[in-house]
């Protein structure tokens, strides 16, 4: 999905993340996004530049595992919220996802699959970063989900990364 995401979709999503305060008690936050494809590669190369794309990013704090998470979400220090599990990790399969996504572009649709028995890994996180030489501090927010039902050689997943001047307001 990252190959299909456009700068406009990323900026739109970043703008949503920077909007007004979100309740500290919020358990599930969903952002809708729209944009157009700038370029597509690999198995998606048939999707033409300019094709509309839309979808959602959902962040669900209730599916995080405290022993697999750390820091304070939205703080100016490094933090992460998530969980992983399955046979590959020698841990129980996760019950749901801290981060999940959907996307529709052209004739292609993507939705986070059910947790995989072999492995599931999902998280969202933030960390301070240098935006560019001489431009001062910034912030990197990223999220990823990946699951594999049973075959160690096949998995599905998506991710998003947003670099900007400040942390998301949660």
Domain-located, residue 64:
yes
pLDDT band at 75 (very low <50, low <70, confident <90, very high): confident
| Arithmetic mean of pLDDT, 126-131 | 80
154, part of any domain: yes
Task: Confirm whether 1 is domain-assigned.
Answer: no
Query: Do residues 24 and 38 lie in contact, with contact meaning Cβ atoms separated by under 8 Å?
Result: no
Cβ atoms of 3 and 40 closer than 8 Å: yes
Using 50, 70 and 90 to split pLDDT, how confident is the model at 48?
very high
Asked whether residue 169 is domain-assigned, the answer is no
For the chain, what is the domain count? 1
The answer to whether position 2 is within a domain reads no
Strand order in the sheet with 156-164: 79-85, 119-130, 137-148, 156-164
Q: Domain range holding 23?
A: 7-164
Say whether pTM exceeds 0.85. no
- Residue of 114, 163, 151 whose CA lies nearest to 11: 163
């Amino acid at each position: 999905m990252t190959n299909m995401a456009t700068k406009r979709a990323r900026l739109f999503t970043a703008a949503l993340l920077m909007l007004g305060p979100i309740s500290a008690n919020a358990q599930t936050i969903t952002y809708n996004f729209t944009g157009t494809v700038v370029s597509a590669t690999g198995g998606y190369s048939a999707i033409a530049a300019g094709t509309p794309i839309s979808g959602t990013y959902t962040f669900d704090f209730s599916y995080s595992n405290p022993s697999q998470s750390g820091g304070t979400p939205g703080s100016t220090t490094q933090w992460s919220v998530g969980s992983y599990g399955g046979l590959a990790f020698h841990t129980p399969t996760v019950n749901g996802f801290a981060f999940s996504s959907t996307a529709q572009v052209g004739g292609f649709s993507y939705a986070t699959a059910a947790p995989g028995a072999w492995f599931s890994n999902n998280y969202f996180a933030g960390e301070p970063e240098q935006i560019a030489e001489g431009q001062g501090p910034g912030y990197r927010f990223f999220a990823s989900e990946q699951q594999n039902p049973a075959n160690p050689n096949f998995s599905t997943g998506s991710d998003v990364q947003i670099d900007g001047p400040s942390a998301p307001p949660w």
